[in-house]
Structure 1
Amino acid sequence: MSGASNSAVEKAEPRRLASATIAETLEAEIVAGLHPAGSKLDENKLVQRFGVSRTPIREALHELVARALAERKPYKGVIVADVSRERVEQMFEAMAEIEALCGRLAAERMTMGERVNLEALHVKMGKLAKRDEQAEYDKSNSEFHKIIFAATQNTDLIELANTLRVKLAPFRKFQLQSAMRMARSHDEHEEIVKSLLDRDPKGAERALRRHLMSAAREVLTRMG
Protein backbone atom coordinates (compact mmCIF):
# COMPACT_ATOMS: atom_id res chain seq x y z
CA MET A 1 0.00 0.00 0.00
CA SER A 2 2.87 2.31 0.87
CA GLY A 3 4.50 1.70 -2.53
CA ALA A 4 1.28 2.54 -4.37
CA SER A 5 0.88 5.70 -2.30
CA ASN A 6 4.44 6.83 -3.06
CA SER A 7 3.87 6.17 -6.76
CA ALA A 8 0.77 8.35 -6.74
CA VAL A 9 2.69 11.18 -5.08
CA GLU A 10 5.50 10.90 -7.64
CA LYS A 11 3.00 11.16 -10.49
CA ALA A 12 1.20 14.11 -8.93
CA GLU A 13 4.35 16.17 -8.36
CA PRO A 14 5.37 16.54 -12.05
CA ARG A 15 1.76 17.41 -12.87
CA ARG A 16 1.77 20.18 -10.27
CA LEU A 17 5.03 21.48 -11.65
CA ALA A 18 3.61 21.42 -15.18
CA SER A 19 0.43 23.26 -14.21
CA ALA A 20 2.43 25.88 -12.26
CA THR A 21 4.72 26.49 -15.25
CA ILE A 22 1.78 26.76 -17.63
CA ALA A 23 -0.02 29.15 -15.28
CA GLU A 24 3.08 31.36 -14.99
CA THR A 25 3.50 31.45 -18.77
CA LEU A 26 -0.12 32.40 -19.44
CA GLU A 27 -0.07 34.85 -16.54
CA ALA A 28 2.93 36.71 -17.99
CA GLU A 29 1.31 36.78 -21.44
CA ILE A 30 -1.96 38.19 -20.10
CA VAL A 31 -0.22 40.88 -18.05
CA ALA A 32 1.88 41.79 -21.11
CA GLY A 33 -1.32 42.14 -23.17
CA LEU A 34 -0.71 39.18 -25.49
CA HIS A 35 -4.18 37.76 -24.74
CA PRO A 36 -6.84 40.47 -25.20
CA ALA A 37 -9.64 40.85 -22.68
CA GLY A 38 -12.59 38.65 -23.66
CA SER A 39 -10.52 36.13 -25.59
CA LYS A 40 -11.02 32.46 -24.78
CA LEU A 41 -8.29 30.31 -23.27
CA ASP A 42 -9.18 27.19 -25.23
CA GLU A 43 -8.32 23.93 -23.47
CA ASN A 44 -7.76 21.99 -26.69
CA LYS A 45 -5.35 24.56 -28.09
CA LEU A 46 -3.46 24.78 -24.80
CA VAL A 47 -3.16 20.97 -24.63
CA GLN A 48 -1.57 21.02 -28.08
CA ARG A 49 0.63 23.99 -27.30
CA PHE A 50 2.11 22.67 -24.06
CA GLY A 51 2.00 18.97 -24.95
CA VAL A 52 0.27 17.88 -21.74
CA SER A 53 -3.03 16.30 -20.74
CA ARG A 54 -6.13 18.28 -19.85
CA THR A 55 -5.58 17.96 -16.10
CA PRO A 56 -2.59 20.35 -15.75
CA ILE A 57 -4.24 22.72 -18.23
CA ARG A 58 -7.39 22.85 -16.09
CA GLU A 59 -5.32 23.34 -12.94
CA ALA A 60 -3.44 26.21 -14.61
CA LEU A 61 -6.70 27.84 -15.72
CA HIS A 62 -8.08 27.45 -12.21
CA GLU A 63 -5.04 29.36 -10.92
CA LEU A 64 -5.58 32.17 -13.44
CA VAL A 65 -9.21 32.48 -12.32
CA ALA A 66 -8.09 32.59 -8.66
CA ARG A 67 -5.75 35.46 -9.53
CA ALA A 68 -8.59 37.36 -11.25
CA LEU A 69 -6.77 37.24 -14.61
CA ALA A 70 -9.52 35.10 -16.13
CA GLU A 71 -13.18 34.32 -15.57
CA ARG A 72 -15.31 31.21 -16.02
CA LYS A 73 -18.44 31.96 -18.05
CA PRO A 74 -21.33 29.56 -18.70
CA TYR A 75 -21.18 28.00 -22.19
CA LYS A 76 -18.04 29.98 -23.01
CA GLY A 77 -15.34 28.46 -20.80
CA VAL A 78 -12.43 30.43 -19.39
CA ILE A 79 -12.21 33.98 -20.70
CA VAL A 80 -9.39 36.50 -20.20
CA ALA A 81 -10.56 39.15 -17.75
CA ASP A 82 -10.57 42.85 -18.51
CA VAL A 83 -7.69 44.01 -16.33
CA SER A 84 -7.90 47.75 -16.89
CA ARG A 85 -5.58 50.42 -15.50
CA GLU A 86 -8.40 51.49 -13.19
CA ARG A 87 -8.76 47.96 -11.81
CA VAL A 88 -5.00 47.64 -11.24
CA GLU A 89 -4.96 51.04 -9.50
CA GLN A 90 -7.79 49.93 -7.20
CA MET A 91 -6.03 46.69 -6.26
CA PHE A 92 -2.75 48.45 -5.52
CA GLU A 93 -4.54 51.14 -3.52
CA ALA A 94 -6.25 48.49 -1.38
CA MET A 95 -3.02 46.51 -0.99
CA ALA A 96 -1.10 49.64 0.01
CA GLU A 97 -3.53 50.38 2.84
CA ILE A 98 -3.65 46.76 4.01
CA GLU A 99 0.15 46.42 4.00
CA ALA A 100 0.52 49.77 5.75
CA LEU A 101 -1.79 48.51 8.51
CA CYS A 102 0.14 45.23 8.68
CA GLY A 103 3.38 47.17 9.02
CA ARG A 104 2.04 49.29 11.85
CA LEU A 105 0.83 46.26 13.82
CA ALA A 106 3.91 44.17 13.01
CA ALA A 107 6.23 46.87 14.35
CA GLU A 108 4.55 46.47 17.73
CA ARG A 109 3.91 42.71 17.75
CA MET A 110 6.75 41.11 15.79
CA THR A 111 8.74 38.57 17.80
CA MET A 112 12.51 38.66 18.08
CA GLY A 113 12.73 35.55 15.88
CA GLU A 114 10.59 37.15 13.18
CA ARG A 115 12.76 40.29 13.20
CA VAL A 116 15.91 38.18 12.83
CA ASN A 117 14.39 36.17 9.97
CA LEU A 118 13.20 39.28 8.16
CA GLU A 119 16.59 40.96 8.40
CA ALA A 120 18.38 37.82 7.17
CA LEU A 121 15.97 37.52 4.24
CA HIS A 122 16.53 41.18 3.39
CA VAL A 123 20.30 40.62 3.22
CA LYS A 124 19.75 37.58 0.97
CA MET A 125 17.48 39.60 -1.32
CA GLY A 126 20.14 42.27 -1.68
CA LYS A 127 22.50 39.65 -3.12
CA LEU A 128 19.78 38.33 -5.45
CA ALA A 129 19.09 41.85 -6.71
CA LYS A 130 22.79 42.45 -7.44
CA ARG A 131 22.93 39.17 -9.40
CA ASP A 132 19.72 40.11 -11.25
CA GLU A 133 18.05 36.83 -10.21
CA GLN A 134 14.49 37.96 -10.83
CA ALA A 135 12.68 34.65 -10.23
CA GLU A 136 14.38 34.02 -6.88
CA TYR A 137 13.97 37.65 -5.85
CA ASP A 138 10.24 37.48 -6.59
CA LYS A 139 9.92 34.29 -4.55
CA SER A 140 11.79 35.84 -1.62
CA ASN A 141 9.76 39.03 -1.99
CA SER A 142 6.57 37.07 -1.34
CA GLU A 143 8.16 35.51 1.74
CA PHE A 144 9.29 38.96 2.93
CA HIS A 145 5.77 40.36 2.90
CA LYS A 146 4.24 37.20 4.36
CA ILE A 147 6.54 37.48 7.38
CA ILE A 148 5.15 40.97 7.97
CA PHE A 149 1.55 39.75 7.56
CA ALA A 150 2.10 36.92 10.04
CA ALA A 151 3.67 39.29 12.56
CA THR A 152 0.36 41.16 12.93
CA GLN A 153 -0.94 38.12 14.84
CA ASN A 154 -4.38 38.87 13.40
CA THR A 155 -5.84 35.87 11.55
CA ASP A 156 -8.44 37.82 9.56
CA LEU A 157 -5.97 40.49 8.47
CA ILE A 158 -3.42 37.84 7.44
CA GLU A 159 -6.05 36.06 5.33
CA LEU A 160 -7.19 39.31 3.70
CA ALA A 161 -3.63 40.42 2.93
CA ASN A 162 -2.67 37.06 1.42
CA THR A 163 -5.84 36.88 -0.68
CA LEU A 164 -5.24 40.27 -2.26
CA ARG A 165 -1.54 39.53 -2.64
CA VAL A 166 -2.39 36.45 -4.75
CA LYS A 167 -4.45 38.63 -7.09
CA LEU A 168 -1.67 41.20 -7.38
CA ALA A 169 1.16 38.63 -7.66
CA PRO A 170 1.31 38.66 -11.50
CA PHE A 171 1.63 42.45 -11.57
CA ARG A 172 4.18 42.58 -8.78
CA LYS A 173 6.25 39.96 -10.57
CA PHE A 174 5.86 41.90 -13.84
CA GLN A 175 7.26 45.10 -12.34
CA LEU A 176 10.30 43.29 -10.92
CA GLN A 177 11.57 42.25 -14.37
CA SER A 178 13.72 45.37 -14.46
CA ALA A 179 17.08 45.16 -12.65
CA MET A 180 16.73 48.85 -11.80
CA ARG A 181 13.31 48.27 -10.24
CA MET A 182 14.64 45.30 -8.26
CA ALA A 183 17.39 47.48 -6.81
CA ARG A 184 14.87 50.20 -5.96
CA SER A 185 12.57 47.63 -4.37
CA HIS A 186 15.43 46.47 -2.17
CA ASP A 187 16.17 50.06 -1.13
CA GLU A 188 12.50 50.47 -0.17
CA HIS A 189 12.69 47.24 1.83
CA GLU A 190 15.62 48.76 3.72
CA GLU A 191 13.32 51.47 5.08
CA ILE A 192 10.66 48.90 5.97
CA VAL A 193 13.13 46.64 7.81
CA LYS A 194 14.69 49.57 9.66
CA SER A 195 11.28 50.73 10.92
CA LEU A 196 10.29 47.23 12.00
CA LEU A 197 13.57 46.58 13.80
CA ASP A 198 13.27 49.98 15.52
CA ARG A 199 9.67 49.15 16.57
CA ASP A 200 8.49 52.27 14.75
CA PRO A 201 4.80 51.72 13.82
CA LYS A 202 4.35 54.99 11.94
CA GLY A 203 7.60 54.56 10.06
CA ALA A 204 6.70 51.02 8.99
CA GLU A 205 3.22 52.11 7.95
CA ARG A 206 4.62 54.96 5.86
CA ALA A 207 7.41 52.86 4.29
CA LEU A 208 5.06 50.06 3.22
CA ARG A 209 2.51 52.45 1.73
CA ARG A 210 5.25 54.15 -0.29
CA HIS A 211 6.63 50.78 -1.36
CA LEU A 212 3.28 49.69 -2.81
CA MET A 213 2.77 53.04 -4.51
CA SER A 214 6.20 52.68 -6.10
CA ALA A 215 5.33 49.21 -7.39
CA ALA A 216 2.01 50.51 -8.74
CA ARG A 217 3.78 53.34 -10.56
CA GLU A 218 6.11 50.85 -12.27
CA VAL A 219 3.25 48.57 -13.35
CA LEU A 220 1.06 51.38 -14.66
CA THR A 221 4.00 52.87 -16.57
CA ARG A 222 4.63 49.52 -18.23
CA MET A 223 0.95 49.12 -19.07
CA GLY A 224 1.15 52.41 -21.01
Structure 2
Amino acid sequence: MTSIAELPLSIQISKKLEDDIIYGVYSPGAKLDEQELCERYGASRTPIREALKLLAAEGLVEIRPRRGAIIPTINPLTLCEMFEVMAELEAMCGRLAARRILPEEKQELMRLHDLCRDYLNQNDSENYYEANRLFHFAIYQASHNAFLIEQACNLHKRLHPYRRLQLRVNNRMNHSFSEHNDIVEAICAGDEQRTEDLLKAHVVIQGQKFTDFMSTIESHPLQ
Protein backbone atom coordinates (compact mmCIF):
# COMPACT_ATOMS: atom_id res chain seq x y z
CA MET A 1 0.00 0.00 0.00
CA THR A 2 1.23 3.51 -0.80
CA SER A 3 2.58 5.34 2.25
CA ILE A 4 1.38 8.86 3.10
CA ALA A 5 4.70 10.36 1.97
CA GLU A 6 4.29 8.73 -1.45
CA LEU A 7 0.83 10.17 -2.07
CA PRO A 8 0.34 13.05 -4.53
CA LEU A 9 1.22 16.43 -3.03
CA SER A 10 -2.39 17.61 -3.25
CA ILE A 11 -3.54 14.71 -1.06
CA GLN A 12 -0.72 15.26 1.44
CA ILE A 13 -1.76 18.93 1.69
CA SER A 14 -5.44 18.02 2.03
CA LYS A 15 -4.62 15.85 5.05
CA LYS A 16 -2.59 18.62 6.71
CA LEU A 17 -5.28 21.21 6.02
CA GLU A 18 -7.91 18.73 7.25
CA ASP A 19 -6.06 18.52 10.58
CA ASP A 20 -5.72 22.29 10.79
CA ILE A 21 -9.44 22.79 10.21
CA ILE A 22 -10.50 20.23 12.80
CA TYR A 23 -7.89 21.41 15.31
CA GLY A 24 -9.25 24.94 14.96
CA VAL A 25 -6.26 26.60 13.27
CA TYR A 26 -8.84 27.90 10.78
CA SER A 27 -12.10 28.94 12.41
CA PRO A 28 -15.60 28.36 10.96
CA GLY A 29 -16.43 31.19 8.56
CA ALA A 30 -12.76 31.93 7.83
CA LYS A 31 -11.72 32.52 4.23
CA LEU A 32 -8.78 30.46 3.03
CA ASP A 33 -6.26 32.63 1.21
CA GLU A 34 -4.46 30.62 -1.47
CA GLN A 35 -1.20 32.54 -1.12
CA GLU A 36 -1.18 32.02 2.63
CA LEU A 37 -1.84 28.30 2.13
CA CYS A 38 1.02 28.12 -0.39
CA GLU A 39 3.37 29.59 2.20
CA ARG A 40 2.09 27.44 5.06
CA TYR A 41 2.35 24.14 3.17
CA GLY A 42 5.28 24.99 0.92
CA ALA A 43 3.48 24.34 -2.35
CA SER A 44 2.35 26.10 -5.53
CA ARG A 45 -1.25 27.13 -6.20
CA THR A 46 -2.08 24.06 -8.33
CA PRO A 47 -1.80 21.39 -5.59
CA ILE A 48 -3.39 23.83 -3.11
CA ARG A 49 -6.43 24.24 -5.36
CA GLU A 50 -6.62 20.46 -5.89
CA ALA A 51 -6.48 19.93 -2.11
CA LEU A 52 -9.29 22.43 -1.60
CA LYS A 53 -11.44 20.58 -4.13
CA LEU A 54 -10.83 17.30 -2.27
CA LEU A 55 -11.88 18.87 1.02
CA ALA A 56 -14.91 20.50 -0.61
CA ALA A 57 -16.08 17.02 -1.64
CA GLU A 58 -15.91 16.01 2.04
CA GLY A 59 -17.82 19.07 3.23
CA LEU A 60 -14.90 20.55 5.18
CA VAL A 61 -14.50 23.45 2.76
CA GLU A 62 -17.00 25.43 0.69
CA ILE A 63 -15.84 26.88 -2.62
CA ARG A 64 -18.00 29.85 -3.57
CA PRO A 65 -17.93 31.69 -6.92
CA ARG A 66 -15.88 34.91 -6.69
CA ARG A 67 -15.40 34.40 -2.93
CA GLY A 68 -12.97 31.51 -2.92
CA ALA A 69 -12.81 28.81 -0.25
CA ILE A 70 -14.23 29.25 3.24
CA ILE A 71 -14.58 27.02 6.31
CA PRO A 72 -18.26 26.22 6.85
CA THR A 73 -19.78 26.23 10.31
CA ILE A 74 -19.80 22.65 11.63
CA ASN A 75 -22.78 21.72 13.77
CA PRO A 76 -21.77 19.10 16.40
CA LEU A 77 -25.34 17.79 16.49
CA THR A 78 -25.26 17.19 12.75
CA LEU A 79 -22.01 15.23 13.13
CA CYS A 80 -23.59 13.06 15.82
CA GLU A 81 -26.58 12.43 13.57
CA MET A 82 -24.29 11.49 10.68
CA PHE A 83 -22.45 8.96 12.84
CA GLU A 84 -25.82 7.48 13.89
CA VAL A 85 -26.85 7.00 10.26
CA MET A 86 -23.39 5.65 9.37
CA ALA A 87 -23.72 3.04 12.13
CA GLU A 88 -27.02 1.82 10.66
CA LEU A 89 -25.67 1.73 7.09
CA GLU A 90 -22.55 -0.18 8.12
CA ALA A 91 -24.62 -2.61 10.17
CA MET A 92 -26.79 -3.34 7.13
CA CYS A 93 -23.72 -3.77 4.92
CA GLY A 94 -22.26 -6.20 7.44
CA ARG A 95 -25.43 -8.25 7.74
CA LEU A 96 -25.68 -8.63 3.97
CA ALA A 97 -21.94 -9.28 3.64
CA ALA A 98 -22.17 -12.15 6.14
CA ARG A 99 -24.82 -13.70 3.89
CA ARG A 100 -23.41 -12.87 0.45
CA ILE A 101 -19.61 -12.53 0.67
CA LEU A 102 -17.67 -14.48 -1.96
CA PRO A 103 -14.55 -16.56 -1.20
CA GLU A 104 -12.24 -14.07 -2.95
CA GLU A 105 -13.85 -11.22 -1.02
CA LYS A 106 -13.16 -13.02 2.25
CA GLN A 107 -9.51 -13.31 1.25
CA GLU A 108 -9.33 -9.58 0.47
CA LEU A 109 -11.00 -8.67 3.76
CA MET A 110 -8.50 -10.79 5.69
CA ARG A 111 -5.61 -9.29 3.71
CA LEU A 112 -6.70 -5.79 4.67
CA HIS A 113 -7.16 -6.90 8.26
CA ASP A 114 -3.58 -8.18 8.27
CA LEU A 115 -2.42 -4.87 6.78
CA CYS A 116 -4.13 -3.03 9.63
CA ARG A 117 -2.21 -5.26 12.05
CA ASP A 118 1.08 -4.32 10.40
CA TYR A 119 0.40 -0.58 10.81
CA LEU A 120 -0.86 -1.10 14.34
CA ASN A 121 2.43 -2.77 15.23
CA GLN A 122 4.25 0.22 13.74
CA ASN A 123 2.01 2.64 15.68
CA ASP A 124 1.28 4.32 12.33
CA SER A 125 -2.19 5.85 12.71
CA GLU A 126 -2.18 7.51 9.27
CA ASN A 127 -1.54 4.36 7.26
CA TYR A 128 -3.65 2.31 9.68
CA TYR A 129 -6.55 4.58 8.81
CA GLU A 130 -5.98 4.13 5.07
CA ALA A 131 -5.99 0.33 5.45
CA ASN A 132 -8.98 0.63 7.80
CA ARG A 133 -10.85 2.68 5.19
CA LEU A 134 -10.30 -0.01 2.55
CA PHE A 135 -11.35 -2.66 5.09
CA HIS A 136 -14.73 -0.96 5.55
CA PHE A 137 -15.17 -0.44 1.80
CA ALA A 138 -14.51 -4.17 1.29
CA ILE A 139 -17.42 -4.91 3.64
CA TYR A 140 -19.66 -2.52 1.70
CA GLN A 141 -18.77 -4.22 -1.58
CA ALA A 142 -19.44 -7.67 -0.10
CA SER A 143 -23.05 -6.63 0.60
CA HIS A 144 -23.69 -6.82 -3.17
CA ASN A 145 -26.34 -4.09 -2.90
CA ALA A 146 -25.33 -1.30 -5.27
CA PHE A 147 -27.59 1.39 -3.78
CA LEU A 148 -26.49 0.61 -0.23
CA ILE A 149 -22.83 0.63 -1.30
CA GLU A 150 -23.27 4.06 -2.88
CA GLN A 151 -24.94 5.54 0.21
CA ALA A 152 -22.41 4.01 2.62
CA CYS A 153 -19.44 5.21 0.55
CA ASN A 154 -20.83 8.73 0.24
CA LEU A 155 -21.42 9.13 3.97
CA HIS A 156 -18.10 7.47 4.81
CA LYS A 157 -16.35 10.09 2.66
CA ARG A 158 -18.17 12.90 4.50
CA LEU A 159 -17.13 11.47 7.87
CA HIS A 160 -13.66 10.31 6.95
CA PRO A 161 -11.74 13.25 8.50
CA TYR A 162 -13.44 12.62 11.84
CA ARG A 163 -13.03 8.85 11.65
CA ARG A 164 -9.34 9.38 10.92
CA LEU A 165 -8.70 11.69 13.85
CA GLN A 166 -10.53 9.57 16.42
CA LEU A 167 -7.73 7.00 16.02
CA ARG A 168 -5.49 9.44 17.91
CA VAL A 169 -7.46 8.92 21.11
CA ASN A 170 -5.34 6.94 23.56
CA ASN A 171 -5.23 3.21 22.67
CA ARG A 172 -8.02 3.58 20.07
CA MET A 173 -6.05 1.78 17.35
CA ASN A 174 -5.71 -1.33 19.52
CA HIS A 175 -9.41 -1.37 20.30
CA SER A 176 -10.28 -0.70 16.66
CA PHE A 177 -8.22 -3.66 15.50
CA SER A 178 -9.75 -5.92 18.14
CA GLU A 179 -13.22 -4.88 16.97
CA HIS A 180 -12.20 -5.58 13.36
CA ASN A 181 -11.04 -9.05 14.37
CA ASP A 182 -14.47 -9.90 15.81
CA ILE A 183 -16.17 -8.47 12.71
CA VAL A 184 -14.03 -10.57 10.35
CA GLU A 185 -14.77 -13.73 12.36
CA ALA A 186 -18.52 -13.03 12.34
CA ILE A 187 -18.61 -12.35 8.59
CA CYS A 188 -16.57 -15.44 7.76
CA ALA A 189 -18.83 -17.52 9.99
CA GLY A 190 -21.89 -16.17 8.18
CA ASP A 191 -23.32 -14.85 11.44
CA GLU A 192 -25.55 -12.04 10.17
CA GLN A 193 -26.91 -10.78 13.48
CA ARG A 194 -23.55 -10.72 15.25
CA THR A 195 -21.93 -8.92 12.32
CA GLU A 196 -24.71 -6.33 12.30
CA ASP A 197 -24.41 -5.74 16.05
CA LEU A 198 -20.60 -5.53 15.97
CA LEU A 199 -20.44 -3.04 13.10
CA LYS A 200 -23.11 -0.80 14.61
CA ALA A 201 -21.23 -0.70 17.92
CA HIS A 202 -17.92 -0.13 16.10
CA VAL A 203 -19.14 3.02 14.34
CA VAL A 204 -21.00 4.36 17.39
CA ILE A 205 -17.75 4.07 19.36
CA GLN A 206 -15.94 6.00 16.61
CA GLY A 207 -18.35 8.89 17.06
CA GLN A 208 -17.88 8.79 20.82
CA LYS A 209 -14.09 8.72 20.51
CA PHE A 210 -14.15 11.66 18.13
CA THR A 211 -16.17 13.59 20.72
CA ASP A 212 -13.53 12.66 23.33
CA PHE A 213 -10.80 13.82 20.96
CA MET A 214 -12.51 17.16 20.33
CA SER A 215 -12.94 17.67 24.08
CA THR A 216 -9.19 17.37 24.58
CA ILE A 217 -8.61 19.96 21.83
CA GLU A 218 -11.07 22.38 23.43
CA SER A 219 -9.35 21.92 26.80
CA HIS A 220 -5.90 22.46 25.28
CA PRO A 221 -6.37 24.58 22.12
CA LEU A 222 -3.54 25.06 19.68
CA GLN A 223 -1.68 28.36 19.91
Offset at 1:119?
2.0
| TM alignment of 1:70-85, pairs within 5 A | 70-85=61-76
Match for residue 142 of structure 2? 151
The answer to whether the 8 Å contact 2:168/2:213 transfers is: no
Match of 2:178 among 182, 187, 194: 187
Q: Which 10-residue stretch deviates more, 115-124 or 205-214?
A: 115-124
Cα distance in structure 1, aligned partners of 2:64 and 2:115: 43
Cα distance in structure 1, aligned partners of 2:56 and 2:85: 20
Match for residue 130 of structure 2? 139
TM-score (norm 1): 0.88
Cα distance in structure 2, aligned partners of 1:170 and 1:106: 25
Question: Which amino acid is the alignment partner of residue 125 of structure 1?
Answer: C
Question: Which amino acid is the alignment partner of residue 141 of structure 1?
Answer: N
Match for residue 42 of structure 2? 51
Cα distance in structure 2, aligned partners of 1:136 and 1:65: 22
Cα distance in structure 1, aligned partners of 2:176 and 2:188: 18
Question: Which amino acid is the alignment partner of residue 195 of structure 1?
Answer: A
Cα distance in structure 1, aligned partners of 2:122 and 2:38: 35
Match for residue 217 of structure 1? 208
Match for residue 40 of structure 1? 31
Q: Which runs of 4+ in 1 moved over 3 A?
A: none
Deviations 1:106-147 (A, max 9, x none): 111100111122123223322321321112211110110011
Cα distance in structure 2, aligned partners of 1:145 and 1:50: 30
Match for residue 99 of structure 1? 90
Tell me the secondary structure at the aligned position of residue 72 of structure 1.
Answer: strand
TM-score (norm 2): 0.89
Deviations 1:40-76 (A, max 9, x none): 1111211233333221111111111111011123442
Inter-CA distance 76–129: structure 2 relative to 1 (3 Å threshold): same
CA-atom RMSD, angstroms? 1.7
- Could you list the runs of 5+ residues in structure 1 that have no partner in the other structure? 1-15
Cα distance in structure 1, aligned partners of 2:15 and 2:131: 17
Aligned residues: 210
| Greater C-alpha Rg | 1
- Give aligned-pair identity as a percent: 37
Match of 1:114 among 102, 105, 109: 105
Offset at 1:179?
5.5
- The answer to whether the aligner puts 1:24 opposite 2:15 as a matched pair is yes
